[in-house]
Amino acid sequence: MPQISPLMAGDPTQLGSFRLSGRVGEGGQGIVYLGVNEAGERAAIKLLHVKFSGDTIARSRFARELKAAKRVASFCTARVMEADLDGDTPYIASEYIDGRSLREIVETDGPLRGTALDRLAIGTATALTAIHHAHIVHRDFKPDNVLIAADGPRVVDFGIARIIDSTGTITSRAIGTPAYMAPEQIAGDDIGPYTDVFSWGATIAFAATGKVAFEGKSIATVLNRILNHEVDVSAMEEPLRSVVRAALAKAAAERPSADQILLRLLGQSTAVGASTAVLTRGAEVASDDTTPFTRVSAGSITDKGTGSLVPSQHGPPAHEGSTGSHEHRTSGVHEHRTTGSHEHQVTTGQGGVSVMPAETAPPEGERAPYPVAEPARPARRGRVKLWVAFGAVLVLVATTAMALAMNGWPPAFLERQTDPGEDPTRPFASVADKVAQTGKIVIGVRGDLPGVALRNGDDFQGFEIELAQRIAAGLGAKETKFVAVSREQRVTGLAEGRLDLVIATFGTDKSPLQFAGPYYVAHRDVLVRSGGGIDSIEDLEDKNICAPNSPSVGAVQDRVKVRPVIAGHLAQCMDMLRSGKVDAIPGEDLILAGFADREPQRYKILGAKLSNERYAVAIKEGDARTCQAVNGIVASLYSDGTLKQLLAKYFGKVEFDPELEPPAMEPCR
């Protein structure tokens, strides 16, 4: 049972129809209270933090959480009882689940065995199937978000859940809990229901063994294990053992769907998707801890109905008429194909077309197509094809990126092996090769931006300098040399090999170079004095703005009528803003914040976000290996909070709402 702590000074005592009696917990987005209404119903009420109440982005995320929670069948989650997203104190009141988290149960009472483990697996698979039938990807399935109630397990917390688009995928960002992230989340590939399946497998493995499946003392080690290590599932009985093993497949296309998992665990044919009857049976099994559980014969549930739990407003059940990207049903045809080093069962049957690894395919007569009720898996695009074709190499690189991001040492598998007679001065195949062999790297940076990258004699300081040091360490560099470069020198320096990387507020649309990252998504915005009465772009009407040679000036003029005051550079603009000669300075937010942070007066970035600028790491064209490694390092720096810390360190004196969402990575060519 969750530990309820007393209300604190400043906490509300009433939210909507609920009287609050204590605190259930607190997270980065808000505080969860325990409340009760006049009918005696208890609710867990998530209140958005006051600091986010005026933040439109935070409010939109909160609204997305509510939308996701409402779409999922309430028998497997916490039913939404009440919500207010428009008031001064946005909140969501959900059914209070009187139970402990799976993590707490395992850590306190030890691993689950036998029937208890079966019921957990079936209950969570039922929940996940219902979530996916509602076209939701949870994205943070883990033991903390599985509550064991009297009527079975419930999957909670849709804080980062996303609704799937028509392609059946979501553009990936490195978001989630590291130990339960799937390989595609780490690599920046599209994610979908198959991503939740991997997290489900890791969660069940934890419940069965009492150990985190991908354990490590650092995030880098954890991500390394996810990409390279297989989980020992020998402690589980069949069919759970083979199902969990398949769910933890590194390649998303080789994992079963949630429907298939549930059907296999119930002893049913996987030739069609999970119907309402199957979901009902799954919920019954999970909730009844008094009757010994036995798997019923194949077809005894699946032939009783084909209804779906997808609410009617979302369209008819997918298996009651093929729509979207799925093929029309045909009579059963079975093929056996070998692709590369992987042997697959290919089945065309009533449920559609399926490709499954041969070693995990169910027995003859139970060949399992991906159920039509689930959105299609992503088409293998260029970089995914490359990863599959050269999986060992690219997994190696991604692993290196993650493993080195926090430790700064090159493991043996990254070190480039050379023959004794090989000439060490010959050109290297990639920057990663060079660093692995020599331990040295040369990085081009700007030297004229305070807070971002400023040169002081032979020393460089700023946000991008520390970022570059971490990327260099992640690649295994022992010696990092910084070189101040102009815009004109960047392309030639990389092409001629005088520079290995360029990290210099370099936007991806500025050059045909190879880019990794971005490490930050900047915005064209406006800097004003704090407390000066300018709170929106409209407040600049008829005001003086500094006008250096920057496209940001035109971006402001497109929105509001202003009086430009010509200036040669941003330092001159800061002098004019300080003295009151201008009311605002347009520019890219990170650069503006760097200038303003060193001022004794207080300034703020207006938050207009007139356009995006993706600052990325420039690499010589064609160096896909280094690009993949840098992408992995940048993703790790977001996931472990390093980027947030660096932004606070160098721009903390400015009222500034920097982008903290991990960006979608550039493809590596």
> How far is the C-alpha of 406 from the C-alpha of 45, rounded, in Å?
37
Q: Is 440 helix (H, G, I), strand (E, B) or coil?
A: strand
Type of residue at 322: S
Sign of CA dihedral 83, 85, 86, 90: positive
> How far is the C-alpha of 95 from the C-alpha of 80, rounded, in Å?
6
Which residues have C-beta within 8 Å of that of residue 538, sequence separation ≥ 6?
560
Please identify every residue annotated as catalytic: 140
Q: Which two tokens stand for residue 81?
A: 């009882």
Residue 208: count of CB within 10 angstroms of its CB: 25
Which residues have C-beta within 8 Å of that of residue 406, sequence separation ≥ 6?
218, 219, 220, 636, 640
> How far is the C-alpha of 426 from the C-alpha of 231, rounded, in Å?
41
Q: Which of 262, 296, 283 is nearest to 371 (CA)?
A: 262
Type of residue at 514: Q
Q: Which of 501, 444, 462 is nearest to 595 (CA)?
A: 462
> How far is the C-alpha of 410 from the C-alpha of 568, rounded, in Å?
45
Using a 10 angstrom Cβ sphere, with 0-12 exposed, 13-18 middle and 19 or more buried, the burial of residue 417 is exposed
> How far is the C-alpha of 23 from the C-alpha of 544, rounded, in Å?
49
Which residues have C-beta within 8 Å of that of residue 487, sequence separation ≥ 6?
510
H or E stretch covering 330: none
